[in-house]
Amino acid sequence: MKRSVDSKGAERLSRLLAIALVLFASHGVAEVAVTWPEALYNPKPAPEDVIVPLPCGGAVAFRPVGTAGTDPLADTEVELGSETESQGYAEHRYLDYLAGSFEAPESERRRFLIGKYEVTALQYDAVIAAASGADCPEPGKGATARLPKGGIGWHDALDFAHRYSLWLRAQAEAIADCDTTATPCLPRADGVPAFVRLPTEAEWEYAARGGDRVSPAVFREMLYPMPDGPARHAWFNENAQGQVRPIGVLEPNPLGLHDVMGNLEEYVLDPFRLHRVERRHGQPGAAVVRGGSLHSSAEDLRSSLRREVPLYDDRGAVGTADTGFRVLLAAPVLTSTQRIDAVRAAWERLGSDVARPQETPSPRPVLSDRPFEDPVLELTALARASGEPEMKQRLERLRSVVAGTNQRLYEQRARSAREALRFGGLLCEKLSVEGFNIALLRQRYDLCKENEDTEHPRCRRLAEDLARDDAVLAANIGVYADSIVRTAQTYPDDLAVLDSELDGLRAELTARGYGDLGIYPERFHRQVLDYARAGAVARDDWFKGCRGLR
């Protein structure tokens, strides 16, 4: 009997100590430590991993996914879905838009953070135990300790994210910001700590395809590049042998995510919707799972694969052994009054070349004798000056239509500017390589002339090769010069869009591991600006500028 009392006393003391640690942490006295072996939560460490603590000494590994710049209303247009006619009602191509919650360090871009692996049973149990006051699960050893959590319903996945978010918020003061080099850390947006949720369908598919780490053409392929075959990247019916497999065994996708194809199907945040040809259908349904499972065939695996699963059946909430989830870190959009002001200012700039006029205290502004050149500003002024409520409403509606049209045109113009810079950069690199190769060929020809007669067969072949390559180079220099002139003529009064899109292109190349190629579009951009100022075609100088980069 005494042993039982002592045991209860020890258990009570243990709980009190745990509560004390939480209280200390919440007041910044103690830090939240990760005590699990790294192999349990991040078996394949990689640069840029973001490690966020979990209850019971655990952690979750996240990967950054880049999106458009830091303007409050900047976002990234993505083309999702596929051309699979047999599944068109569920997977037809469509456009969506993404923006990350957090500023990327040392970059003019934003990012969201998505789970590097599927949530494991150990991670799931640790969060539920902490929320319910139960004992922490034993970490265990070996591959079985890294099995993902399956057999749960959509609401269970939401509940995990909710409980994990509450724990992180309670510990936030004791967890370093991810803007530092500290590990573990918790990202913040405008000082507001991140929360945990399921990824949306668009976020999940964008990340599964490789996000900003792959080219637009590769992004639209059925699967991300798997040079060594799907069996090295996904667990499916041929290699999984009917069993759920541990996280982090196979190779990741270009973004660094493991098991996005196969193993467990993964819940996302959105309800299921059908597709019409031009848009998504209006009826929300049950839950969506993405990515296929260990029961899928290799032929069925594709980034666009999506399936509706019921939330309930006659036995209650539905959950199958081959269904799990990964989580995402996000933040509120309107985090402060300063943020709201920035969003309002960005909204007023949409579709307009300049900011809208300052509000006036007059109840009915008087129209200026001179109309605004910008139609959006002119419609704004007309709406404000109108004394008839119906006319005012119609003018404001017309202003919104014109502003939306202008904004779409601007976005198309910006995309065209980036592609012009990309093409110019490719041509500049090509000239650099061709110039280098011709210089080597010319050296070989000069040596041949020194050692042999110019009519020697080898010298004649070199001379022919040199003449052919010189002709090709001259033609390519002409194409490059045309590109400089046409780009400057296309943006005569809007060269700033080239500056902005050059920054975006540099970030895009860096994200894909080709940052060293950024010197070529930079040189093209500089030469476009030089031509726009001087108006002089300088073919030789432009070629030498590219040639000197190699």
The model's pLDDT over 425-434, given as tens digits with 9 standing for 90+, comes to 999 999 999 9
Do 408 and 516 fall into the same domain? yes
| pLDDT score recorded for residue 71 | 85
Q: CA angle, corner 102, sides to 414 and 69, nearest 5?
A: 10
In a domain, 357, yes or no: no
Q: Are 58 and 34 in contact (CB under 8 A)?
A: yes
Residue 53: its H or E element: strand 50-54
Do 292 and 153 fall into the same domain? yes
Q: Are 402 and 379 in contact (CB under 8 A)?
A: yes
In a domain, 256, yes or no: yes
Do 220 and 96 fall into the same domain? yes
Question: Could you give the CA distance from residue 290 to residue 268 in angstroms, rounded to a whole number?
Answer: 7
| pLDDT score recorded for residue 511 | 83
Q: Are 295 and 237 in contact (CB under 8 A)?
A: yes
Do 413 and 316 fall into the same domain? no
In a domain, 502, yes or no: yes
pLDDT, one tens digit per residue, over 324-380 is 999 999 999 999 999 999 998 888 777 665 433 333 333 334 444 444 455 656 666
Query: At 148, which CATH number?
Result: 3.90.1580.10
| pLDDT score recorded for residue 369 | 44
3-state secondary structure 449-514: HHHCCCCCHHHHHHHHHHHHHHHHHHHHHHHHHHHHHHHHHHCCCCCHHHHHHHHHHHHHHHHCCC
Length of the chain: 550
Do 175 and 322 fall into the same domain? yes
Asked which of 315, 330, 345 is the last residue of a domain, the reply is 330
Q: Which of the 8 DSSP states describes residue 173?
A: G
| pLDDT score recorded for residue 30 | 60
In a domain, 149, yes or no: yes
Return the closest-CA partner of residue 235 out of 316, 143, 126: 143
**The token pair that represents 1 in the structure block:** 């009997």
Name the average pLDDT for the chain. 86
> How much is the pTM?
0.72
Tell me: pLDDT of 468 over 50.
yes
- The pLDDT of 510-537, averaged and rounded, is 88
Residue 371: partners with Cβ closer than 8 Å, 6 or more residues away: 378, 381
Give the pairing type, strands 323-324 and 265-271.
parallel
| pLDDT score recorded for residue 118 | 98
Residue 378: its H or E element: helix 375-385
pLDDT, one tens digit per residue, over 105-137 is 877 789 999 999 999 999 999 999 999 999 999
Q: Are 237 and 247 in contact (CB under 8 A)?
A: no
Return the closest-CA partner of residue 283 out of 266, 269, 270: 270
Question: Could you give the CA distance from residue 117 to residue 156 in angstroms, rounded to a whole number?
Answer: 18
Do 442 and 314 fall into the same domain? no
| pLDDT score recorded for residue 355 | 35
pLDDT, one tens digit per residue, over 281-330 is 999 999 999 999 999 999 999 999 999 999 999 999 999 999 999 999 99
In 272-309 the beta strands, taken as DSSP E runs, fall at 287-290, 306-309
Do 236 and 112 fall into the same domain? yes
- The pLDDT of 414-430, averaged and rounded, is 90
**24-30 own/partner pairs: CB under 8 Å, 24+ apart:** 24/174, 25/171, 25/173, 25/174, 26/170, 26/171, 26/173, 26/174, 27/173, 28/173, 28/174, 29/174, 30/174
Asked which of 266, 296, 330 is the last residue of a domain, the reply is 330
The percent of residues in the chain predicted with pLDDT above 70, rounded, is 85
First to last CA, the chain: 83
Count: domains in the chain: 2
In a domain, 3, yes or no: no
Do 317 and 408 fall into the same domain? no
- Of 538 and 367, the structure prediction assigns the larger pLDDT to 538
Do 233 and 85 fall into the same domain? yes
Question: Could you give the CA distance from residue 232 to residue 225 in angstroms, rounded to a whole number?
Answer: 11
Residue 540: partners with Cβ closer than 8 Å, 6 or more residues away: none
Q: CA angle, corner 121, sides to 119 and 122, nearest 5?
A: 100
Question: Could you give the CA distance from residue 466 to residue 443 in angstroms, rounded to a whole number?
Answer: 10
How many other CB atoms sit within 10 Å of the CB of residue 185?
17
How many other CB atoms sit within 10 Å of the CB of residue 35?
10
Do 115 and 233 fall into the same domain? yes
Asked which of 314, 330, 346 is the last residue of a domain, the reply is 330
| pLDDT score recorded for residue 351 | 63
Do 529 and 414 fall into the same domain? yes
| pLDDT score recorded for residue 144 | 87
Do 436 and 521 fall into the same domain? yes
Buried b (16+ CB within 10 A) or exposed e, 93-116: ebebebbbbbbbeebbbbbbbbbb
| Full residue range of the structural domain in which residue 465 is found | 403-548
Q: For residue 184, is the peptide bond before it cis, meaning its omega torsion is within 30 degrees of 0?
A: yes
